[in-house]
Amino acid sequence: MGIESSNSGLYLHIDFDKTPEITFNKAKVRRAFVNVGQRVMAESRRLVARRAISKAGEAPGFRTGRLSKSIGYKVPTATASRPGFMVKVAPNQKGGKGSRPITGDFYPAFLWYGVRRGAKRGKKHKKGSSGGSPWRIAPRKNFMEQALHNKRAWIEQVLFNALQDSVKVPK
């Protein structure tokens, strides 16, 4: 700080230390999202790996492995308008890592929404002559939501640590 006197008046000059620039490492955060995607994918595959016929409200069972193998994850690339800080984990994830696409009818939709008896017969949706359940395939539990719920605390911790490690203030 300096004060000088001159013919034109008083001149005051104050120097501030340069404010530190914060550096942000996007790669560390994106890598954390990849790690989260891999773990949630593994958890959702674990939930559908039970080799039994599933009942209504349970996670789907494992018969052929098509559903389990179709689950993949994707961390979208960063663009000018999108930083790429997200991960998508889903069956048949387009462009997903570690997944094999399900061809034909989208089987996970039948599991989630269920299929009523006679759904293709037209306007009559009756139980049938046997009087059983109106469902051919009753809706199953949302295993993707359950996988995310099971890993929630771990995900929050990993993302918090990655964000904390990626922000650096020079000393």
The full DSSP string for 99-135 is --PPPSS-HHHHHHH-EETTTTS-S-----TT---SE
Task: Establish if 14 belongs to a structural domain.
Answer: no
In 32-46, which positions are buried (b, 16+ CB within 10 angstroms) versus exposed (e)?
A: bbebbbebbbbbbbe
Contacts of 35 (CB under 8 A, 6+ apart): 158
Express each pLDDT in 24-45 by its tens digit: 888 898 999 999 999 999 999 8
Task: Establish if 35 belongs to a structural domain.
Answer: yes
- Per the structure, the complete domain to which residue 64 belongs is given by 25-102+144-168
Number of folded domains in the chain? 1
Task: Establish if 4 belongs to a structural domain.
Answer: no
Q: Is the pTM of this model over 0.75?
A: no
Express each pLDDT in 66-103 by its tens digit: 788 888 999 888 888 877 788 888 887 777 787 777 77
